[in-house]
Amino acid sequence: MDQKLLQLNAEYARALDDDRLEAWPEFFVEDCLYKVTSADNLKRGMQAGLIYADSRNMLRDRVSALREASIYERQTYRHIVGLPVRLKSDDAEAHCETPFLVVRIMRDGKMDLFATGRYLDRVVEEGGSLKFRERLVVCDSSRFDTLLAIPL
């Protein structure tokens, strides 16, 4: 399980950083929750996220919007994902926390530390591989530079 968890996190980051966004929804089960929030919003029980998707199709819509509708300057991310801690688990699912750091590289080469935080995950096994039932992206800061296009 732990080896699979590492693999899941590594593949997730690699898909986003390699601009294989279409693969991103497939890391989730159909009935999922993906939310980008901040530590402060989480602490205060404020539920609205920067991104809030409660189905895999909403994740697919994010990707097709980025591909076909949204306007933003060309940019890529480099995710550095730390080691997951298993908070609790049973046969059905595991609750994990994993720290991350994301560098944003703009088309002109400018690099910025764009986001840091932790993933709060509920991970389940589906069809022989691990998937996210829930991934809360809890950013350490509530401030975002310019825009958040590519998912974290």
Please give the residue ranges that form the binding site for another protein (CB under 8 A).
Answer: 36-38, 40-41, 46-55, 57-58, 60-62, 64-65, 68-73, 142-149
Q: How far is the CB of 144 from another protein (least distance, A)?
A: 4
Task: Name the one residue in this structure whose structure tokens are 């932790």.
Answer: 118
H helical segments located in 20-139: 39-43, 56-68
Integer angstrom CA distances of residue 74 from 68, 89, 146: 14, 40, 13
The two tokens of residue 28 are: 């989730």
Instruction: Give the residue with the Cβ less far from another protein, 109 or 128.
Output: 109
Nearer Cβ to another protein, position 84 or 100? 100
Which is nearer to another protein, 10 or 65 (by Cβ)? 65
As measured in angstroms, the least distance from the Cβ of 148 to another protein is 4
What DSSP designation does 19 have? T
Q: Give the shortest CB-71-to-another protein separation in angstroms.
A: 5
The two tokens of residue 17 are: 């950083």
